[in-house]
Structure 1
Amino acid sequence: MKYKLSNPLLRPATLATSVLLANSALASVVSLEEIVVTAQKREQSLQDVPIAISAIDSELLQANGVSTAADVGEMVPNVTITAQPSSSFNIRMNIRGNGTAEPSLAIDPKVGLYIDGVYIARNAGAVFDLVDMERVEVMRGPQGSLWGKNTTGGALNITTQRPSGENVLNLKVGAGNYGLRTGQLSWDTPEVNGLSAKLSYMNKSYDGWQDNVNMASDAHFGDIQAEAFRAAVNWDINDSLNLYYIYDRTDAASTPEAMQAGYVSAGSQGAATITDIRSGIPQTYIYTNPSDNPFAQLADTVSDKRRETFDADFMNSEKLDVEGHNLTLSWYGDNIQLKSITSYREYNSHLEGLDVDAITVEGGDGLLYGIGGVTPAALPTAGILHTSGSKDHEQFSQELQLIGDAFNEKLDYVLGLYYFDEKGNETTPWELTSYSAASNSLVILPYGNWYEVTSESKAAFGQLTYYFNDSWNLTYGFRYTEDKKSLLIPDEDPIITQDAKFDKAWEKFTSSVTLNYAINDDISTYAKIAEGYASGIYNPGTLNRGAALAGGSQEDILYSVANPTDPEELISYELGIKSKWFDNRVVFNAAAFYNEADNLIVSNFDGTSRVAANSGTADTQGIELEVQTMLTDNLRVDAAYGYLDIDYSDSTRIQREARNTGSLGVFYSFDGVDNGELVAFLGMTYTGKEYFDVRDRSISTGDSRTLYNGRLSWNDISIGGSMINVGLWGKNLTDEEYIYYGYSIGEASMYAYGAPRTVGLDVSIEF
């Protein structure tokens, strides 16, 4: 089956791309609508694309309350995406058991995030409100032959709405519990001489659900104040040339959510002394009252239940500014398209303080060791882990694509060139209270991250599909990549005597082969082999501060930083089927895969450092099942299931690799509504047990969870020439208590619980 080039000059840009839910026209059709995606750089029916892909349209995004990339979360099998509680704006993405938890500017994500085809380079600062989301496409498995950067896990592409060319003004307001208030105003300008625009503004405030009783009455962890602006301009210069420009900006401030203790070691609670080395001169104190030990105080708060009140001596504070430009030029000829995508993005985040323990540390009175013996003294008032700092990052990318067909449409091709560069810096001083079992003592360590990083990537890529006949086609994809990275550790770091700079380059050719067989117009199968690649990384978090304390040389201190990881390489084998049944009332898609990863790159906080390193091999096998059913003219039921089984060569494992994931969606349109359409949606997601620490310690796991979301919408109410939509929604309807994130800080494990039940109402009016 042949596919058309995506030309906005010739056809509408709106695509019906829901995999899990039909659009609002459900009541008027008795079969599932064709799903169209652009994952292979041309418009194709989802059922004809021989890859493991899921797509979510704007109706389902609204039904599940999705406003950021992190909200996509558990809607797709074998995919987990969440924000990090220690920062409201950092993201964690994992596909098929492969992902990166570390928000360092030096560590590449294994799942690529794209917004309108532009690669977002870092997990840090990637959670911001996206205005005018149209659809989300999630591609599972290694990517490279068509997408901007090599990734071994997969890719997530968010597409925003293009200008419609019609004069439409839309106002939407909403409110919910825990002080949620939202407002959005958008204007589609009329088309004039081929020029049209869409201007949108969004404002959101949220108080958060965690109270700090040690502060003012309005002190809450997890609060957010954000505003975002987006301008999209579409210009049909002539019948062959189109210019499309997008500008987006987000300014946000937040108090990141508090984490709660789930485990504190008995040894740390019984430490007899504490040594403070923050001033450069070690001072050792004796606890005369064991309850003054901060680990003992933290242990008093240990609970396996969700806490909604905290007694913290410090309120976290974070700010984020994100700005982006995307200019796409497209030229269309006969059976050919030439496209240029130019993008520049920057972000700045500032963490004014983060108190990980979320307790009030009472210093108390103790005894201080001195030359003449011990004397009474006030104990130091250090918590378990305190940090602050800032990150600045900017990136530029240029991509050229040549898309077309040849030999009487026997050959489809996509050829491209890609250039990317970035630079960033992080300044994050922090203090950690660590425990030594050998001496039964605590020590307050002045740690931190000070570094500057730059990287450059160049690539040539392509994908060729040859159609032997109407049933058989063969696709070959390839990519040649050159990566270069530089790292500077400045002498601002207190353990560095002079600036230390390192750089290294890598190159790699990867390819993929897919054989697709269409049994008939409704059923097709495919077999695919694909290579994945992730370049080596420098890890500034591996400075050997223990060697510094012991008086070691600069070479000893910098050894791990000076030697980057080896590249991670992966080969994926995949079999899939895509099918439609009963006159397109049922769609069933399935994929089975087996991945072999070598030089697996894992990242973790080990209690003293942020570490990324190679960790042997990992063999992953799994399946993904997706079914959509139109049971009646009014009722649609969809389900998805993912299974993972990973065999590691050593004791480490990737974080967030739930063995079982699943979702169920029920959508019902009521009859008998004279004005508009009344629609009910109920969704369920299931996530199995997760591991939050790469060392697979039982104190860093989260149990399985089942969450329910719902929405009741009265859409398309016509009043006085305007269209009104009203929606009542709820998240976590059963008020499930669940852990979605955790990590170990030496002798304690901290957990982040998901939000309790939230409900709200939104109203939109279109003029």
Structure 2
Amino acid sequence: MKTISLSKKPLAGVIAVAVALSGSNAVLASDKKIALEEVIVTAQKREQNMQEVPVAVTAFSADDLNNAGVQDVTEIQKSAPNVTMQVSRGTNTTLTAYVRGIGQADPLWGFEPGVGLYVDDVYLARPQGGVLDVYDVERIEVLRGPQGTLYGKNTIGGAVKYVTKRLTGEPELSISGALGSYNQRDIKIAGQMPLIEDKLLFGASVAQFKRDGFGEFLLNGDDNYNKDVTAARVSLEFLPTENLAFLFNADKTNDNSNAKGGHRMTPSKLLPAEPIPSDVFDSYADMATNNSVDSEGASLTVTWDINDSLVFKSITAYREGETFTNIDFDNTSFASAHVPAVYEDDQTTQEFQLSYSGDKLDVVGGLYYYEGTASGAFDVLLGAFDAYFTGLGYGPGNFDAVTAGSVDTTSYAAYVHATYAFNEAWALTLGGRYTIDEKSADVYKAQLMVDGMSGLLGGQDLNEIEVLTDYQNDNDWNQFSPRVSLDYRLSDDIMFYGSYSQGFKSGGFDMRGDASINPNTVNGYDPEIVDTYELGMKAELADGRIRLNAAVFYSDYTDMQVTVQESTDGGSNYASSVLNAGESEILGFELEAIAQLTENLSTSFMLGYIDAEYKSVETTVSNPDYDAVTNPSAPPTIVEDIADQWAFANTPEKTASLKLNYAKSLGNLGDIALSAGASYRSETQIFQVESAIDEGSYILWDASAVWYSADEHWTVGLHAKNITDEEYRVGGYNFDNLGAEEVVVGYYGNPRTVSLNFGYNF
């Protein structure tokens, strides 16, 4: 028999076997025909059947997440086409999110994301703390494409909605936990009860997630890639009348996991006797592993059903976060390139929303207000290189490159989104949002020598200081974001749609900007705009046993915010510039299919493809014809288009997944759900410019078995992730000249893990 090698055909390997998540729970209809369950989403800020929404959206229910043993939102990327959701380099809970090629690679304060993250309709403006653990959740939705009309700025790639469970008014208590690889030990407790029957409801949940490190810090034996997270949520719902509801939510998360050390991929010229670690999860980083990320917030949602057609909603929320972490950029035992950093942010949001639902017309409109501050500071301590800079006249003392600043943001927006059904077949959607965005920045950057510790950590007695950037400035931008969609329903089960939508990512100020090299940094940068055209189909075939959703899209991406960083001063500093220099085009398609093959067996398949290309990236470079003596009349700098040298970051050309699910009743012994599958990602470039940390294609294999007791009290699940122990990078740093040597550092996705999950509902 001929042997077929899948190693050279990874996509074929995925299609041939099985993957991640699905919404494929089946029910036995009254006529004994097997059908897929209806999936309800709130992608258009009202409850709808997912098959009736003219938006590319993937939804995961609590059962889907539980059956697959999903631990945090980053696992969603396994099952949503053209989506990247990963833990940012050098962090534990900062989220790197990309949808259809658009996102945010740099989590520095002051920069805006390209994918909006929402918890119960409250926008999370910063990616710190964005790697949300899955607990007490009802549903997660991933909306692809610009969502500027309903969700505002910074959703030009898409939006991720994390929806927690609502209170039911019935007394409930559940306890669940997990034991697994690397001494994983998780515990989750959730409960609710009526304080006043049908009037005042109370609920609370608490969770702790702990795990030893995948590797270690080789110098002191501390855990690397460990986990120590505690989270809690409280809900209180007051129902004074049948038409009026007040829902208060408060949550708090604390991450005390160790700071994450990177894997040095290049040998150190300064430490030739120190080998590259054989395990990618080990690190020679010599900084303290102290790390703390705190995030908390509260919201009050008031819902008033004015009549059968009209609903008013008010969402008031406040959130704040604080991060302290250490990053060793060279990741060796050499005392240099140490970066202690602190970030703080807070935000207050208010949304008033009015919804109308009629026989032919559905309208959602509202007013939105956002006020927030993001601030931070970090040092670049050179340690062992201090003697060198003392020789240049900076000393004696400790060299420190200090970057600090804050940005205040105030946004106002008004939006309307209306769908009119001409008849049973045709419907037109028109939407628009007008946003006013105001920002005020305070930026400081300096090189200095300090007796004792660094300036950030309390040092005094400055011997020498060179201020590179010191300014206060403000700017504002206005933007109208439209959406047009035309839907055609061929039958009750098949819908086609075509849409145009626009989104924008906010302008701002570069907190790392070096005014001594780039004086224009004090003026900030403008918003970037994306215009997307999409054709889609949503269908349920074979009497509801097959669900097939597909979309093809084209995006025109202009005024792109391009970040360029160059080594200066012999590697002691990096000059940052953010320019509106880029234009690009993105073409792609997405396919999602679920089929209920028998009463017990189902399969799900996903395929995403992106062809993203930079058309223009203009940057200022030194003019090779300029010479102060022989050719002083030539300009010292010229503008050069380097689009052919760039590619899209964190955007694999192909993503795919395939999964088999088997569910069967065991009678008095309960029910069992089995699943197995694989997810595939093609080659991924980590930065815009090709580098040594770019990752090749890879496949992750997962399998799960979950048992539910007949009395619905007990749940036991066995989950295996990355069964083949695939080694794959998700981020890193690439410095051509850091401390006079090339430094390439990689950060990696989780290795093979196995966990035994259990739960009891009282």
Same fold (TM over 0.5): yes
CA contact (8 A) 2:614 2:647 kept: yes
1:749 is matched with which residue? 744
CA drift at 1:226 = 1.5
Aligned 1:319-334 pairs, distance under 5 A: 319-332=292-305, 333-334=307-308
Aligned 1:243-254 pairs, distance under 5 A: 243-254=246-257
2:705 is matched with which residue? 712
Instruction: For residues 80-103 of structure 1, give each alpha carbon's deviation from its aligned partner in whole angstroms, at most 9, with x where no partner exists.
Output: 100113111211000001111111
Residue 109 of structure 1 aligns to a residue in which SS? coil
Please tell me whether residue 569 in structure 1 is matched to residue 502 in structure 2.
no
Please tell me whether residue 477 in structure 1 is matched to residue 462 in structure 2.
no
CA drift at 1:498 = 8.8
CA drift at 1:263 = 4.1
2:606 is matched with which residue? 640
CA contact (8 A) 1:606 1:745 kept: no
- Residue 301 of structure 1, aligned match among 270, 273, 276: 276
Instruction: For residues 130-178 of structure 1, give each alpha carbon's deviation from its aligned partner in whole angstroms, at most 9, with x where no partner exists.
Output: 5311111111111121114342111111100011211111011211111
Residue 709 of structure 2 aligns to a residue in which SS? strand
Instruction: For residues 345-387 of structure 1, give each alpha carbon's deviation from its aligned partner in whole angstroms, at most 9, with x where no partner exists.
Output: 0011111x222333222xxxxxxxxxxxxxxxxxxxx33x321
Residue 512 of structure 2 aligns to a residue in which SS? helix
- Residue 414 of structure 1, aligned match among 364, 374, 377: 364
1:727 is matched with which residue? 717
1:461 is matched with which residue? 415
Instruction: Between 204-213 and 169-178, report the one with greater CA deviation.
Output: 204-213
Whole-Å separation in 2 of the counterparts to 1:309 and 1:434: 23
Whole-Å separation in 2 of the counterparts to 1:322 and 1:43: 29
2:486 is matched with which residue? 515
1:208 is matched with which residue? 213
- Residue 592 of structure 2, aligned match among 612, 617, 626: 626
Whole-Å separation in 2 of the counterparts to 1:751 and 1:79: 21
1:108 is matched with which residue? 112
Change (3 A) 1:120 1:29: farther
Change (3 A) 1:25 1:205: farther
Whole-Å separation in 2 of the counterparts to 1:492 and 1:468: 63
Instruction: For residues 694-735 of structure 1, give each alpha carbon's deviation from its aligned partner in whole angstroms, at most 9, with x where no partner exists.
Output: 12x2423111111012211111343xxx71101111111111
CA drift at 1:63 = 3.3
Whole-Å separation in 2 of the counterparts to 1:491 and 1:681: 53
1:228 is matched with which residue? 231
Residue 149 of structure 2 aligns to a residue in which SS? coil
- Residue 401 of structure 1, aligned match among 339, 353, 356: 353
CA contact (8 A) 1:606 1:744 kept: no
CA contact (8 A) 2:26 2:599 kept: no
Q: Which amino acid aligns with 2:700?
A: L
Change (3 A) 1:571 1:461: same
CA contact (8 A) 2:120 2:162 kept: yes
Whole-Å separation in 1 of the counterparts to 2:109 and 2:514: 16
Residue 152 of structure 1 aligns to a residue in which SS? coil
2:142 is matched with which residue? 138
CA contact (8 A) 1:692 1:743 kept: no
Q: Which amino acid aligns with 1:345?
A: R
Residue 691 of structure 1 aligns to a residue in which SS? coil
CA contact (8 A) 1:711 1:730 kept: yes
Change (3 A) 1:29 1:36: farther
CA drift at 1:535 = 2.3
Residue 648 of structure 2 aligns to a residue in which SS? coil
Please tell me whether residue 390 in structure 1 is matched to residue 342 in structure 2.
yes
Change (3 A) 1:525 1:250: same
Instruction: For residues 166-220 of structure 1, give each alpha carbon's deviation from its aligned partner in whole angstroms, at most 9, with x where no partner exists.
Output: 111101121111111100111121362422122101112111111233214xx21
CA RMSD after TM alignment: 2.6
CA drift at 1:764 = 0.6
CA contact (8 A) 1:125 1:349 kept: no
Residue 178 of structure 1 aligns to a residue in which SS? helix
Residue 317 of structure 1 aligns to a residue in which SS? coil
1:581 is matched with which residue? 541
Please tell me whether residue 356 in structure 1 is matched to residue 329 in structure 2.
yes
What is the TM-score of this pair, normalised by structure 1? Answer: 0.84
Aligned 1:510-549 pairs, distance under 5 A: 510-544=481-515
Whole-Å separation in 1 of the counterparts to 2:604 and 2:478: 43
Change (3 A) 1:432 1:658: farther
CA contact (8 A) 2:349 2:368 kept: yes
CA drift at 1:315 = 4.2
Whole-Å separation in 2 of the counterparts to 1:499 and 1:666: 58
Whole-Å separation in 2 of the counterparts to 1:82 and 1:41: 26
Change (3 A) 1:434 1:705: farther
Instruction: Between 752-761 and 485-494, report the one with greater CA deviation.
Output: 485-494
Residue 658 of structure 2 aligns to a residue in which SS? strand
CA contact (8 A) 1:643 1:660 kept: yes
CA contact (8 A) 1:102 1:123 kept: no
Whole-Å separation in 2 of the counterparts to 1:125 and 1:73: 18
CA contact (8 A) 2:109 2:511 kept: no
CA drift at 1:258 = 2.4
Whole-Å separation in 1 of the counterparts to 2:203 and 2:499: 40
Q: Percent identity?
A: 32
Whole-Å separation in 2 of the counterparts to 1:660 and 1:713: 30
Q: Which amino acid aligns with 2:496?
A: T
Aligned 1:6-405 pairs, distance under 5 A: 20-23=22-25, 30-190=34-194, 192-216=197-221, 219-263=222-266, 293-294=270-271, 296=272, 300-301=275-276, 306-332=279-305, 333-351=307-325, 353-361=326-334, 382-383=335-336, 385-405=337-357
Change (3 A) 1:609 1:221: farther
Whole-Å separation in 2 of the counterparts to 1:490 and 1:29: 67
Instruction: For residues 420-440 of structure 1, give each alpha carbon's deviation from its aligned partner in whole angstroms, at most 9, with x where no partner exists.
Output: 0101210111236999xxxxx
Please tell me whether residue 703 in structure 1 is matched to residue 653 in structure 2.
no
Change (3 A) 1:35 1:314: same
Whole-Å separation in 2 of the counterparts to 1:354 and 1:19: 34
Whole-Å separation in 2 of the counterparts to 1:183 and 1:766: 14
Whole-Å separation in 2 of the counterparts to 1:128 and 1:350: 18
CA contact (8 A) 1:131 1:228 kept: no
CA contact (8 A) 2:23 2:59 kept: no
CA drift at 1:501 = 0.4
Residue 557 of structure 2 aligns to a residue in which SS? strand
Instruction: Between 308-317 and 621-630, report the one with greater CA deviation.
Output: 308-317
Change (3 A) 1:605 1:164: farther
Q: Which amino acid aligns with 1:510?
A: S
Change (3 A) 1:459 1:759: same
CA drift at 1:317 = 2.3
1:616 is matched with which residue? 582
CA drift at 1:412 = 1.0
Instruction: For residues 17-57 of structure 1, give each alpha carbon's deviation from its aligned partner in whole angstroms, at most 9, with x where no partner exists.
Output: x9823348689972101111111111111111111111111
1:684 is matched with which residue? 678
CA contact (8 A) 1:693 1:744 kept: no
Instruction: For residues 620-658 of structure 1, give each alpha carbon's deviation from its aligned partner in whole angstroms, at most 9, with x where no partner exists.
Output: 000000000000000110000000001202133332011
Please tell me whether residue 759 in structure 1 is matched to residue 754 in structure 2.
yes
Whole-Å separation in 2 of the counterparts to 1:498 and 1:355: 24
Change (3 A) 1:458 1:19: farther
Instruction: For residues 591-611 of structure 1, give each alpha carbon's deviation from its aligned partner in whole angstroms, at most 9, with x where no partner exists.
Output: 000000111123466552455
Instruction: Between 83-92 and 588-597, report the one with greater CA deviation.
Output: 83-92
Aligned 1:418-457 pairs, distance under 5 A: 418-431=368-381, 446-457=400-411
Change (3 A) 1:432 1:48: farther
Residue 467 of structure 2 aligns to a residue in which SS? coil
